[in-house]
């Protein structure tokens, strides 16, 4: 089980796990629940430069289409091919096997992201 308190969060309902200069990014269980059954994921290619707070991908569900925002600026170093092949992993394990991208970042930039308590407050006390 992922330690949710160790993660950082965005107002766009993404989570970020930091490991040195690499940020693993996914959407939260709150976002996955609101989206419904995820049926398609469009992720940026490895090597793509992404800019914080800009759209870098798309998540389609049976209910709607949601945009994936880059939580931090950097370069995409890995995408989760398993999620591209089986988008339902986003719903089944948003904090685990359902991660989306890994971005090489400047670690200090993550200080501006939300902690767990602030994210829970943002969602009205849910998760």
pLDDT, one tens digit per residue, over 80-109 is: 999 999 999 999 999 999 999 999 999 899
- Mean pLDDT, residues 36-55: 96
Cβ-contact 83, 102 below 8 angstroms: no
Tens of pLDDT along 46-83? Answer: 999 999 999 999 999 998 899 999 999 999 999 999 99
Q: Which pLDDT belongs to residue 95?
A: 95
- Dihedral sign for Cα atoms in the order 32, 35, 40, 43: negative
Residue 127: pLDDT band with limits 50, 70, 90: low
User: How far apart are alpha carbons 76 and 121 in whole angstroms?
Assistant: 30
């Amino acid at each position: 089980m992922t330690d949710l308190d160790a993660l950082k969060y965005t107002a766009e309902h993404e989570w970020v796990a930091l490991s040195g200069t690499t940020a693993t990014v996914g959407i939260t269980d709150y976002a996955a629940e609101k989206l419904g059954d995820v049926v398609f994921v469009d992720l940026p290619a490895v090597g793509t430069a992404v800019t914080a707070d800009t759209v870098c991908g798309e998540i389609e569900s049976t209910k709607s289409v949601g945009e994936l925002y880059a939580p931090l600026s950097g370069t995409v170093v890995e995408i989760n091919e398993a999620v591209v092949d089986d988008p339902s992993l986003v719903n089944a394990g948003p904090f685990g096997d359902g991660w989306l991208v890994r971005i090489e970042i400047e670690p200090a930039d993550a200080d501006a992201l939300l902690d767990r308590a602030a994210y829970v407050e943002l969602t009205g006390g849910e998760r």
